[in-house]
Structure 1
Amino acid sequence: MAPRSAPTARRLRIGIELRRLRERAGMTAAEAARELGTTQAQMSNIEANRFGISAERVQTLAHIYCCTDQPLVDALAAMAADRTRGWWEEYREAMPSPLLDLAEMEHHATALRVAQVINIPGLLQTPEHARALFREAVTTLRPHEIEHRVSHRVKRQAVLFRDRPVPYTAIVHEAALRMQFGGRDVARAQLSHLAEISHAPHVTLRVIPFDGTSFPTAGQGLDYAYGPVTALDTAQLDTTHGSEFIDAAGQLETYRLVLDRMEQVALAPGASRDLIHRISKDT
């Protein structure tokens, strides 16, 4: 079987979790390979997800490792069995892989929580606002590249409008609401869209005002995707050098705490909507 040229972050996660199960069992890769009846090289390929792995083999390895966390094992097996290609794959040759991994992460999430200080969360952006952001990006994008990214961003938003939309909580600082990317008309339309979508039963939008008493974050954008089990949660950070995906249990716990604290200092949804309306009138 030919190796995968670029397995997605979600498929790589299967191998990462299997390696963690092996290490918790106190087994080396060579020992695990012998128990599975394969070679150490093949075990390395399994843990790197170079060739993929079947749901049955996931269950077998979990048995070898004496893993008693059956919900985690079942979730990993389901991930291994899912070979469908998502809509984001059509952008594989046109856009950086981390953006495709983000779309895949959102698509499979059981719930999403995001926090933004300067930018409106991507799933809540209007096409005009997104287009203005890409035009002003640090990396110069050509017109057709901008349109690819706008199209991709709009398609990502389908998770909020499908038959079973993902529960979505966005914590946005007032600073992001007052930025006028694309000019006043674009900014007003963006604020109007935020106010409208905040009425959706599965969307919770909360604003941290300028006069807040604390600010429990370093200011970088954060997307937190809940998995079928807590161990399969994923956090994605916006950094100057690009997206960074986090899956270590201790770090995930820290980011959940950060989001909890940000919600505590943010306005309630109704008060947040009122503030959005006031800013819109001032824009």
Structure 2
Amino acid sequence: MTAREAAELLEADAVQVSQIESGTVGVSAKRVRRLANNYACTDLALVDSLVAMATDRTRGWWEEYRGVLPQVNLDVAEAEHHATYLRDVVITRIPGLLQTPDYARAVFDYMNPGLSESAVDVKVDYRMRRRSAIEGDNATPYEAIIHEVALRLRVSDRKTSHAQLLQILSLIEQRVVSVRVIPTDQDGFAGSGASMMYAGGPVPQLDTGMRDSPAGVAFIDSEYQLDQLRALIHRVKSGSLQPAASRDFIHRVAKEL
């Protein structure tokens, strides 16, 4: 479909079509359904979900950080907020959603040499507020698959690491999170390449994957890449301990600190 054809279909001009394509302006429910009909999309659940996304006017807490933190931080928080379920896989550090303030501060201090204390404070505050996605009355189901290395790596000192493990255990006991541990002596584990998060959408076509990369967080939304990511997470999970055994494992590591 050409830009002119799209403009005619949507009863808009070329500038509006360009803005819709770039995501700088919203699109009405009527236009979403008109586009779906034009492309003969008969998946009503998908169309309804797209309409809900297009007409959502939620102004989340992350908007307070617009212009303060990079856009990708806002995108991550928004994806977590809207997800129907969340699944994390981490190898070397505790998932951000589970970190204590002291642990998060140690990570930011180490990864950002020379960053001012006030700038670190903003990053820590943002990270702590992200946990609202998995707590409260409308908490999103969350599962974290954590390698033993992340449990034992001391980003700061013994006190900080011990407090971090106790917080994970507390969240497990409160049924806020399900945690599975991958022991270092587990056979057949070749890693996951990078930390990754999977955010379930209202329908599978609207799932979102996020993977750490040298340039920051890379978002994944193509069908093929999502299939690959789901398969990889399933493989990683199959090599992890059951939740009860994982809880006991974390208890043992905490006692050793």
Give the TM-score taking structure 2 as reference length.
0.95
Q: Is the 8 A contact 2:88 2:95 kept in 1?
A: yes
Tell me how far 1:139 sits from its aligned partner.
5.4
Shift of 1:37: 3.2
Cα deviation digits, residues 135-192 of structure 1 (max 9, x gap)? 1014542111110011111110011212121100100000000011120000000011
Q: For the residues of structure 2 that align with 1:277 and 1:78, how far apart are their CA atoms? A: 43
CA displacement, residues 84-132 of structure 1 (integer Å, 9 cap, x when unaligned): 2110111112111111110110000000001000010001111111011
**Secondary structure, in 3 states, of the residue corresponding to 1:212?**
coil
- Are 1:58 and 2:39 matched, yes or no? no
Write out aligned runs for 1:30-41 (5 A).
Answer: 30-41=4-15
User: Which amino acid in structure 2 is aligned with residue 250 of structure 1?
Assistant: Y
Give per-residue Cα distances to partners, 1:53-107, cap 9 Å, x unaligned: 1122111221222211111111111111111211011111211111111011000
Q: Which residue of 2 aligns with 1:47?
A: 21
Contact 1:207-1:267 within 8 A present in 2 as well: yes
**Helix, strand or coil: the match of 1:186?**
helix
Query: What secondary structure, in the 3-state scheme, does the structure 1 residue paired with 2:111 have?
Result: coil
Listed as ranges, the matches of 1:81-100 within 5 Å are: 81-100=55-74
1:202 deviation in Å? 4.8
Q: Which amino acid aligns with 1:256?
A: R
Asked if 2 retains the 8 angstrom alpha-carbon contact of 1:125 and 1:190, the reply is yes
2:202 aligned residue:
228
- The letter for the 2-side match of 1:108 is H
Query: Which has the larger displacement, 196-205 or 87-96?
Result: 196-205
What does 1:67-146 correspond to in 2, within 5 Å? 67-138=41-112, 140-146=114-120
Cα distance in 2 for partners of 1:156, 1:141 equals 21
1:212 matched to 2:183? The reply is: no
Among 211, 215, 230, the alignment partner of 1:241 is 215
Aligned-CA RMSD value: 1.5
Is 1:165 paired with 2:125?
Answer: no
Verify the 8 A CA contact 2:9 2:34 in the aligned structure 1: no
Alignment size in residue pairs: 257
Which residue of the other structure, out of 245, 250, 265, is the alignment partner of 2:239? 265
Query: What secondary structure sits across from 1:30 in the alignment?
Result: helix
Asked if 2 retains the 8 angstrom alpha-carbon contact of 1:216 and 1:261, the reply is no
Q: Does 1:149 align with 2:120?
A: no
- CA separation in 1, counterparts of 2:24 and 2:139? 32
**Inter-partner Cα distance in structure 1 for 2:214 and 2:113:** 10
Distance in 2, matches of 1:35 and 1:219, equals 44
Displacement of 1:50 after TM fit? 2.0
Q: Which stretches in structure 2 are left out of the alignment for 5+ residues? A: none
Cα shift at 1:51 = 1.9
Q: Unpaired segments of 5 or more residues in structure 1?
A: 1-26
Say whether the 8 Å CA contact 1:88–1:103 is kept in structure 2. Answer: yes
* Residues 1:216 and 1:39: Cα distance change in structure 2 (over 3 Å): farther
Task: Find 2:148's aligned residue among 164, 170, 174.
Answer: 174
Aligned identity (percent) is: 46
